[in-house]
Amino acid sequence: MTRAWLVVPGVVVAVLLSATVLTRAQSPADQATAAFRDDVHASAGLTCASCHGAPKPGAGGSYAPIRRTAIAPMCARCHADAAYMKTFAPQVRVDQYAQYQTSVHGRQMAKGEERVATCSDCHHAHGILPVRDSRSPVAPPNVETTCAKCHADAARMSPFNVSADIPDDWSKSVHAEALLKRGDTSAPTCNTCHGSHGATPPGVDSVANVCAQCHVREADFFKASKKHEIFEAMGQAQCMVCHSNHDIEHPKDAWIGLEDPALCSTCHDDSTDSGKTILAIQRGFQTLTEKQTAAAALLERSREAGMLVEDGDAALRAANEAHVRLRVLVHTFAEAPFDEALKTGVASADEAATAGQHALAELQFRRRGLAVATLVILGFLATLFVKIRRLSPIE
């Protein structure tokens, strides 16, 4: 009882002390110090003073913040110095600052526009991690989120006449699905097409080169086609005309055709040779799809009946691969190369269907065989039954 009066003030003091300690832990300087412990620069032996210079005089050892316009040049002091950077990694690149100066961000920053991105916006100021570290904001799966911090902010983008829908559009794309759902880190994200440090929207005449980084065959076919010259003459943005730029979908056979919603119908009708080519390609896709569907159904029925149809499955896989090849060959915008590949695909689909038909015929043969065997067995059982009944009675 004598000590009870000490409990309440004791608790209050403890809470206040804890709050003080926690509040101190939340200060920007402490946050920066904590984050810097994991920083790749800390492990390389750099300190606060390496970037901030000497502490502010009379400020108790704290450092002055770096102006946004001075951040990139400050980073470049080391990162553009090949001799210095080689001491950490022999093959490290040193052109980031040069690239940055060519970017929209770098050019705006050079004009004194501080709202655009600089090094620390993407890499963090403290706690910078290597790109290969999955926690890094510039690791492939995190790039879109990092860019979206600014590019999905309509208020921030409107002064620059940039749409804030771009990150959302990309997240619906076939590329986002590959990267984020399937974990394919080779799938393109923002910096794959726009560049990292030299981030700039590709121009109309360079879009095909950007896509060609991965879609090599499509680009080769396109460049060799008549369409390439026509698009150049018209000032059309090549790949983007049909595929769009950020919300790129899985290609569909229905895009080919002369009636809405086919993409070709935007510019073509059946009065020209190109219209006839489009119709021929459309028919080719329809033929192959019908054959693939029929073969797949036959094989599925066979499998459900317990038949092994490995050969049919292999042939159907070949037909599916031929279908993908045909979609690539569409970029030739010509009938002849398409027809040749179509024949291969149709032959594979026919082979798969034949395998399915053989399996089902074999199944029927087995069932007929079973019916005959059952009749023979039943006949034998009936004979046995009669014979047993005719035996002398058991004593």
**Residues binding other proteins (CB under 8 A):** 306-308, 310-311, 366-367, 369-370, 373-374, 377-378, 380-381, 384-385, 387-388, 391, 394-395
The residue among 260 and 310 lying less far from other proteins, judged by its C-beta, is: 310
- Is residue 173 within 8 Å of 182, Cβ to Cβ? no
How would DSSP label each residue in 201-247?
PPPGGGHHHHHTTT-HHHHHHHHHSHHHHHHHHHT--THHHHH-SSS
- Is residue 208 within 8 Å of 222, Cβ to Cβ? yes
Residue for token pair 């390389």 = 44
In whole angstroms, how close is the CB of 48 to other proteins at the nearest point? 46
Residue for token pair 């030739």 = 332
The residue among 250 and 390 lying less far from other proteins, judged by its C-beta, is: 390
In whole angstroms, how close is the CB of 313 to other proteins at the nearest point? 12
Cα three-residue angle 93-95-96, rounded to 5 degrees = 95
The residue among 203 and 369 lying less far from other proteins, judged by its C-beta, is: 369
The whole-angstrom separation of Cα 237 and Cα 324 is 24
The residue among 301 and 327 lying less far from other proteins, judged by its C-beta, is: 301
The residue among 24 and 368 lying less far from other proteins, judged by its C-beta, is: 368
In whole angstroms, how close is the CB of 292 to other proteins at the nearest point? 22
The whole-angstrom separation of Cα 267 and Cα 258 is 9
Q: Is the peptide bond before 202 cis (omega within 30 degrees of 0)?
A: no
Instruction: Give, to the nearest 10 degrees, the angle between helix 310-329 and helix 216-224.
Output: 50
Q: What is the token pair recorded at 377?
A: 């067995």
- Is residue 298 within 8 Å of 308, Cβ to Cβ? no
SS (H, E, C) 268-291: CCCCCHHHHHHHHHHHHHHHHHHH
In whole angstroms, how close is the CB of 49 to other proteins at the nearest point? 50
In whole angstroms, how close is the CB of 154 to other proteins at the nearest point? 45
In whole angstroms, how close is the CB of 295 to other proteins at the nearest point? 18
The residue among 70 and 381 lying less far from other proteins, judged by its C-beta, is: 381
The residue among 3 and 387 lying less far from other proteins, judged by its C-beta, is: 387
In whole angstroms, how close is the CB of 367 to other proteins at the nearest point? 6
